[in-house]
Structure 1
């Protein structure tokens, strides 16, 4: 059971109502995560702002979805893993092999694999990395803009992972469970 309530658009007021209406207009529906985030309009506004800004960056949707899958798997967030598996296959048109590889911070595409490895290294180091990690990414053709956006996407994904884990957000997507880690 969720630890934070969902706010339905018809019961929302003020900025929460405006933000939920914006989500519905842009997405066509309002995901449970947004309804739950609406308890704090500042949080929902910040999430939507960062998500929208990164969507206009240099990393295409298929890469951003892979980054989200890798982070959700690492953080064991079933809600985000389920949502981003659906988005990766239905919206970003990733095949099942790439979706599965992304959960392990890997890709058949060497450049994408370098981005995923960098993100995973940063996450596992809690932001502290060896300079060789950046050198390796740059040797694979990763640009400074991509490095910045990897960090931005990692921050966004950690935010949503942690939020959904704490809130125990009701999952409306086909459920994808994290792998068992030893």
Structure 2
């Protein structure tokens, strides 16, 4: 059971309701994580703004989905791992072999592999990566802007992992358990 209430959409502030309407429009539902964050309209606005800004970046959605899986696994976030796995399976954008590779901090796609490895290392090492890690991203074809966006993608996913772990958000997707925590 969640440590703080998971409010019904109609029981959050008008500001949060407006933001959650956008979530419902995009996802077709309002998952518990968004409703937990909606306890603070400022936090919800910040989270959604960060996510929406990354949608406009140069790193493609598929790479960001792969990174999210790797970060959820690295941080041991069952909620995020369950939600992310459900989303990519439902949309049929990643197959089980790729999901497994991502959870292991890798990818079967050559270019994405560099980003996922970099992201998993960022999550595991709390940002303490070396020059070789950055150079591997560049060799794979990522620009400086892309590298910053992968770091930003890790950061927003770490926020989601932390909020769901700290508050023990009720998992509203088929449960997938992390194999290990950082």
* Equivalent pairs, count: 182
The answer for the alignment partner of 1:27 in structure 2 is 27
- The question of whether the paired residues in 2 share the 8 Å contact of 1:68 and 1:154 is answered with yes
Q: How far apart are residue 181 of structure 1 and its match?
A: 6.2
Tell me the SS of whatever aligns to 1:24.
helix
Match of 2:129 in 1: 129
When the two structures are superposed, what TM-score results if normalisation uses the length of structure 1? Answer: 0.93
**Does the CA-based 8 Å contact 1:66-1:88 persist in structure 2?**
no
Tell me, yes or no, if structure 1 residue 74 matches structure 2 residue 74: yes
Scaled by the length of structure 2, what TM-score is found? 0.93
**Partners in 2 of 1:181 and 1:165 — Cα distance?**
11
Q: Secondary structure at the match of 1:155?
A: helix
Do the aligned partners of 2:12 and 2:39 also contact (CA within 8 Å) in 1? no
Q: Given that residues 73 and 180 in structure 2 are in contact (C-alpha distance below 8 angstroms), is that contact kept between their aligned partners in structure 1?
A: no
Select between 170-179 and 120-129 the one with higher mean Cα deviation. Answer: 120-129
Give the equivalent residue in structure 1 for 2:156: 156
Matches within 5 A, 1:37-52: 37-52=37-52
Query: What SS does the aligned partner of 1:129 have?
Result: coil
Residues in 2 aligned to 1:180 and 1:72: alpha-carbon distance in whole angstroms: 10
Alignment partners' CA distance in 1, 2:126 and 2:92: 28
CA distance in 1, matches of 2:12, 2:163: 20
What's the offset of the Cα at 1:27? 2.2
Measured against aligned partners, the alpha-carbon deviations of 1:106-159 in whole angstroms (never above 9, x if no partner) come to: 111111110011112222221122112111221122221220111110000000
Distance of aligned partners of 1:180 and 1:159 in 2 relative to their CA distance in 1, 3 Å threshold = closer
Distance verdict in 2 for CA 1:180–1:50, change over 3 Å: closer
1:62 and 1:92 in contact (8 A); partners too: no
Distance 2:89 2:72 in 1: 16
Structure 2 residue runs without a partner (length 5+): none
Alpha-carbon RMSD across the aligned residues, in angstroms, is 1.6
Report the equivalent of 1:118. 118
Cα offset for 1:103?
0.3
Aligned equivalents of 2:158 and 2:16: distance in 1? 22
Aligned partners of 2:158 and 2:123: how far apart in 1?
A: 9
Q: Contact conserved, 1:33 with 1:169, CA < 8 A, in 2?
A: yes
Could you list the per-position Cα deviations for residues 73-124 of structure 1 after superposition, in whole angstroms to 9, with x for gaps in the alignment? 0000000000111122222511110010000111111111100111122222
**Stretch of structure 1 that moved more, 55-64 or 156-165:** 55-64
